[in-house]
Amino acid sequence: MKRLPPALALFLLAPLIGEYLLGNIPLDVWAPAAFPPTALLYGCGAVLIREIVVRAGGGRGMTLLLAIAYGVVEEALVTQSLFNLNYLGLGLGSYGEIPWLGISAPWSVYVLSIHSVWSIFTPIVLIETLYPARRGPWLRARGLISNTIGYVAGAVILFFAMYLNPDNKAFLLSAGQLIGAVVTVAALIALAFLTRGRGRTATHRAWPPAAMGAFALTGGSAMFLLFEFGPARKVISEPLTLILLSVLMTVVLAVLVVNTRAADWSHRHVFALAAGAVLTYCWAGFMVQITQYGFHLVPTAIQILLVAGTLWLLARTHATVALSD
């Protein structure tokens, strides 16, 4: 992948991790046809966020906040899954519903987490780590404009694909939901710019990178298992799911806040978090693919190849981190 321009590498990696490694797209003869529009949305979105952060002089915190904003745009405005309680006929939105908001708490946390952490933040970290000498902008003005147009085109394609999907029954969010989603996106973007450039103030030491990677793998795995046995299978009750989800999110945020403010926090820690996150997808992708589409030999073999390619990429990226120390 180092032979590719970094922007192109990120354009390709974001959808491969965000949808294909996750197992969300059935790995059959139609999988290649789904890649172009998915790449326009995920790939162009990741490149756009990375270019904005670099040009604004921001850091990882700004990247994550913009990634969350990306998730709200996709799931509230494009697919509208945050407000469609029977999105794709799955009925996931009715589990743990907050009536006065018209959303499901477990589904919202889950889908915004996978988009912000796995679809955007993790691919950016991996590609930036793989290209340590390319710290500045990757695109010139014309390339940035073309990339933005590609992102908008991907969003439009996905919007109509979901709107015309019979299972969604031509769902459209209300005016209040639209205003709320737009305000939320604007607030996240504003917060991202307000937090850029803030340095670390603590003097304590961060956890070792290996511990951060293990924490990311454990936390990500816990979220997937909680979603699988909560909203998906309904084995865990809604109140217990909400309690466990709240505890998990609180622990994750507390650990991240404490460690990212440590005096010795470095790119090795960030890479370890990204590596732990993507390793979660390496096993969760099989669960998602099989539970959604059933067990089939060819898709499972393709999933194994995707995992092997991911492990190879992590090894190459880890080698780059070791050389930069």
* Number of Cβ within a 10 Å radius of residue 324: 13
Q: How far apart are the C-alpha atoms of 301 and 305, rounded to whole Å?
A: 6
Provide the pairing of β-strand 103-104 with 97-98: antiparallel
Q: How far apart are the C-alpha atoms of 89 and 168, rounded to whole Å?
A: 7
Q: In the chain, at which residue ranges do the beta strands (DSSP E only) sit?
A: 97-98, 103-104
- Tell me if 158 sits within 8 A of 40, measured CB to CB: no
Q: How far apart are the C-alpha atoms of 271 and 275, rounded to whole Å?
A: 6
3-state secondary structure of 291: helix
Instruction: Give phi and psi for 25, each to the nearest 5.
Output: -95, 130
Q: In 50-195, at which residue ranges do the beta strands (DSSP E only) sit?
A: 97-98, 103-104
What is the structure's pLDDT at 198?
61
Q: Which of 185, 188, 255 is nearest to 220 (CA)?
A: 255
What is the structure's pLDDT at 5?
93
Question: Would you kindly state where each structural domain of the chain is located, as residue ranges?
Answer: 6-324
* Number of Cβ within a 10 Å radius of residue 90: 17
pLDDT in tens, 33-63: 999 999 999 999 999 999 999 999 999 999 9
Instruction: Give phi and psi for 104, each to the nearest 5.
Output: -100, 125
Question: What's the first-to-final CA gap in the chain, in angstroms?
Answer: 21
What is the structure's pLDDT at 25?
93
Written as six digits, the tokens of 111 are: 């889908």
Enumerate residues 6+ apart whose C-beta is below 8 A from 153: 40
Written as six digits, the tokens of 219 are: 């936390």
- Tell me if 77 sits within 8 A of 181, measured CB to CB: yes
Stretches in the chain below the pLDDT threshold 50: none
